[in-house]
Amino acid sequence: MGGDPRSDVYPGGIVDLSTSGRPGILGLESPLGAEDRLQLQRLSSSCAFSRLPGGSPGMGAISRFPVSHLLVTGGAGFIGSHLVDRLLGDGHRVTVVDDFDPFYDPSIKRRNVEPHLRSDRYSLAEIDIRDADALRRLPGEFDAIVHLAARAGVRPSILDPIGYQEVNVRGTQNVLELARERGIRQFVFASSSSVYGINPRVPWREDDHVLLPISPYASTKVSGELLGHVYSHLYGIRFVALRFFTVYGPRQRPDLAIHKFARLMLEGRPIPVYGDGSTRRDYSFVDDIVEGIVRSIAYDRSPYAVLNLGNDRTITLSELIALLEETLGVKAAVERHPDQPGDVPQTWASMDLATDALGELPRTPFPEGLRRFADWLRG
């Protein structure tokens, strides 16, 4: 338990981790009910959350943690609803904060939470994270926060930079304030591969000193990571920033390329392709991302960490279209457009640091993930 005093790496350089050594969620500081204690005994007896000998996380070393009450912001969204599936399935109590933001059809998010509402270990608070007072009135004691609520999407952030700043930066600070006021010691933050921007040196490593964001969205994620460092240093809140690389799978946001293309192709309509098809993305299947988040909830090696969650493998836009054609059994009619401002030419995650910190993470092969997405889309 507690902090291994090794330094964590941050793109701005090696940071001072003099605050290490505080117990986190595995320290079981918050009171547990009888049901929780029972679950905890069951988990303990199967040693499901113990580390491998020698202190090295290694393969599958941390995939569970003691039964806890988790606050998940953005838990009605794409990634958040998958995370809640998993947390409830593992026996945890979950409170979701989500304002059903209209960035895409809120009825999709209502459908996402429908099965969760049937659990008596689930609560939903329809709160805007910009509203600090409403957050403060949130009932419950939480062992950890997973902060996913955000305005997501690169291109729309160029049209509404102030709106993105208010939700993604001020909103994040409000959630961090909640952690500070309530003494919540573990905070997992959804950052993004977009923070690397046009850094030409690939695969992107967390210790690269080159962050060259090219959209307001990306800059808000850089700000979130930096705010997290402040709260980690000043208040001992363990902060794990996870840089997600293009996440896909069932319930994927409708604005993202895979979902948008597949829907248009099935409707026999042309797909808008920006650029010559050579842009590359490191795609991550949503279940693999959820596993990374769950392990980060249990991460206790140091008070601050920034980790990539991707696949260390890239696919060009042209390859994606060919794979979609194969998976859906439909030929795509392509409508070419010039490159879009804010779009980066490539994303590519080095997974060395995340593997060292969290153990070997599952990496669903892209054709298999695409098949599972297509099965969901076809209903």
Q: Which residues bind ligand NAD (CB under 6 A)?
A: 74, 76-80, 97-101, 103, 109, 128-130, 148-152, 167, 171, 190, 192, 244, 246-247, 253
Rounded CA-CA distance 328/43 in Å is 41
DSSP 312: S
Using CA atoms, how far residue 366 sits from 31, 247, 285, 325, 373, in Å, is 42, 11, 8, 14, 10
Shortest Cβ 206–ligand NAD spacing (Å): 15
Q: Which of 44, 135, 90 is nearest to 294 (CA)?
A: 90
Closer of 150 and 306 to ligand NAD (Cβ):
150
Contact 327, 260 (CB under 8 A): no
Q: Which is nearer to ligand NAD, 39 or 347 (CB)?
A: 347
- Which active-site residues does the annotation give? 217
* Among candidate residues 288, 363, 275, the one with its CA nearest the CA of residue 320: 275
- Number of neighbouring beta carbons within 10 Å of residue 154: 21
Q: How far is the CB of 24 from ligand NAD (least distance, A)?
A: 22
Q: How far is the CB of 166 from ligand NAD (least distance, A)?
A: 8
State which residue, 80 or 292, has the beta carbon closest to ligand NAD.
Answer: 80
Least distance to ligand NAD, CB of residue 89, Å: 18
What's the chain's length in residues? 379
Question: For residues 99 and 206, which CB has a smaller minimum distance to ligand NAD in the complex?
Answer: 99
Helix/strand number for the chain, H first, E second: 13, 15
Half-sphere exposure of 172 (CA within 13 A, CB side): 27
> Cβ closer to ligand NAD: 78 or 299?
78
Token pair in block for residue 336: 């070419």
What's the min distance (Å) between Cβ of 324 and ligand NAD?
Answer: 17
Packing angle, helices 78-89 and 286-298, rounded to 10:
60
DSSP secondary structure string, 154-196?
A: SHHHHH-HHHHHIIIIIHHHHHHHHHHHHT--EEEEEEEGGGG
Contact residues for 143 (Cβ-Cβ < 8 A; gap 6+):
25, 29, 30, 68, 69, 70, 184, 186
Alpha-carbon dihedral 42, 240, 23, 71, rounded to 10 degrees = -60
If the CB atoms of residues 20 and 223 are measured against ligand NAD, the closer one turns out to be 223
Q: How far is the CB of 45 from ligand NAD (least distance, A)?
A: 34
